[in-house]
């Protein structure tokens, strides 16, 4: 993985995502595109209902512009401090990590799609309730529309990921694509554990996938475990803890998005609750 996209919002979540990307870039000699995504202030106008006059609309747009300027200053300051601390140059050189900063003003969260599609990996901090919906919206759009894997930092912190990986395998097309897109990272791992969680609906075994990984030269082992009382995501996290893993790889939304929304699902649990870094793709 040679090109990492880190979407920034000018808030406290920017630094954990940059730290996570730096750890990967230093091992892979990758470039980090740190891009601040800012909502176009004019997008606020259609949200204004009846009863708002021109002066009131101007005030709303001015407030949005001031907020955008504040976020720009905050994101640039975070990026500069991070780059200095990480010792990462802005000069691209083969085999060495590098980084650049830019900003995109447009409709959110859809603006993240275009730069995501030319990256190898999109890196986010984990969304928190106090963050509002902006980061969560960027994560979801990146997962559904970019065609690239998304990496979320673990809620417990820790920037060094990809050395010991647990792969959640259920035989789905989404899981297969997630693994295929992540092969460069898996091939560089010290150990990979393929885990099939038996929830009464999965008939797969880890054996064939372990064989494929072995042919790639990946030190992989396989396990089939019974689902715990707290569900598949919690079971995978427990397996990651037992294996000393720093990352879990999952195929996202193997069931329909509507079913996941109504009934809950592994992906939604992974997005909100995991203490371990989580890579998702579909």
Instruction: Note whether 185 and 242 are same-domain residues.
Output: yes
Helical ranges in 112-181 per DSSP H:
113-117, 134-145, 173-181
Confidence at residue 32, expressed as pLDDT on a 0 to 100 scale: 98
On whether the pTM is more than 0.75, the answer is yes
Please check whether residue 269 is in contact with residue 234, taking contact to mean a CB–CB distance below 8 angstroms.
yes
Banded pLDDT at 275 (limits 50, 70, 90) = confident
Instruction: Note whether 74 and 134 are same-domain residues.
Output: yes
Instruction: Note whether 189 and 271 are same-domain residues.
Output: yes
Domain membership of residue 157 (yes or no) is no
Count of structural domains, the chain: 2
Instruction: Note whether 170 and 124 are same-domain residues.
Output: no
Confidence at residue 17, expressed as pLDDT on a 0 to 100 scale: 94
Domain membership of residue 55 (yes or no) is yes
Instruction: Note whether 79 and 173 are same-domain residues.
Output: no
Banded pLDDT at 167 (limits 50, 70, 90) = very high
Domain membership of residue 159 (yes or no) is no
Please check whether residue 245 is in contact with residue 193, taking contact to mean a CB–CB distance below 8 angstroms.
yes
Domain membership of residue 208 (yes or no) is yes
Banded pLDDT at 229 (limits 50, 70, 90) = confident
| 48, pLDDT greater than 60 | no
Which of 152, 185, 206 is the last residue in one of the domains? 152
Question: What CATH number is attached to the domain comprising 47?
Answer: 3.40.50.620
Higher-confidence residue of 54 and 219: namely: 219
Which of 152, 175, 210 is the last residue in one of the domains? 152
Domain membership of residue 213 (yes or no) is yes
pLDDT in tens, 249-266: 999 876 544 334 333 455
Domain membership of residue 158 (yes or no) is no
Cis peptide before 18 (omega within 30 of 0): no
Alpha carbon distances (Å) from 277 to 104, 169, 245: 26, 17, 9
Please check whether residue 250 is in contact with residue 270, taking contact to mean a CB–CB distance below 8 angstroms.
yes
Q: CA–CA separation, 143 vs 280, rounded Å? A: 7
Residues spanned by the domain of 170? 164-281
Instruction: Note whether 183 and 147 are same-domain residues.
Output: no
Instruction: Note whether 219 and 102 are same-domain residues.
Output: no
Instruction: Note whether 109 and 207 are same-domain residues.
Output: no
Which of 83, 117, 152 is the last residue in one of the domains? 152
Instruction: Note whether 178 and 148 are same-domain residues.
Output: no
| 269, pLDDT greater than 80 | no
Confidence at residue 264, expressed as pLDDT on a 0 to 100 scale: 42
In 3-state terms the chain splits into helix, strand, coil percentages (rounded to 5) of 45, 25, 30
Instruction: Note whether 100 and 178 are same-domain residues.
Output: no
Mean pLDDT of the chain: 86
Instruction: Note whether 11 and 148 are same-domain residues.
Output: yes
Instruction: Note whether 28 and 133 are same-domain residues.
Output: yes
* Sign of the torsion angle spanned by Cα atoms 223, 229, 232, 237: negative
């Amino acid at each position: 993985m040679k090109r990492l996209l880190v979407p920034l919002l000018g808030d406290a979540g920017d630094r954990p995502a940059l730290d996570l990307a730096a750890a990967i870039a230093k091992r892979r000699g990758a470039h980090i595109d740190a891009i601040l995504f800012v909502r176009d202030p004019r997008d606020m106008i259609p949200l204004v209902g009846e009863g708002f006059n021109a002066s009131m609309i101007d005030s709303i747009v001015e407030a949005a512009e001031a907020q955008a300027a504040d976020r720009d200053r905050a994101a640039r300051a975070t990026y500069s401090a991070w780059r200095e601390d990480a010792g990462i140059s802005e000069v691209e050189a083969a085999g060495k990590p590098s980084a650049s900063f830019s900003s995109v003003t447009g409709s959110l969260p859809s603006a993240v799609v275009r730069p995501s599609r030319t990256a190898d990996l999109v890196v986010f901090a984990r969304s928190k309730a106090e963050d509002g919906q902006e980061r969560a919206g960027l994560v979801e759009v990146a997962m559904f529309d970019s065609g690239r894997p998304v990496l979320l930092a673990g809620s417990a912190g820790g920037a060094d990921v990809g050395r010991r990986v647990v792969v959640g395998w259920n035989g789905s097309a989404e899981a297969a694509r997630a693994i295929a897109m992540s092969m460069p990272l898996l091939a560089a791992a010290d150990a990979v554990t393929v885990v099939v969680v038996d929830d009464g609906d999965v008939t797969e075994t880890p054996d064939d996938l372990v064989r494929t990984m072995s042919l790639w030269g990946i030190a992989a082992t396989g396990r089939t475990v019974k689902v715990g009382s707290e569900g598949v995501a919690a079971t995978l996290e427990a397996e990651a803890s037992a294996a000393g893993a720093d990352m879990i790889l999952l195929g996202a939304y193997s069931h329909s998005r509507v079913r996941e929304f109504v009934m809950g699902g592994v992906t939604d649990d992974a997005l909100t609750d995991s203490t371990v870094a989580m890579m998702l793709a579909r």
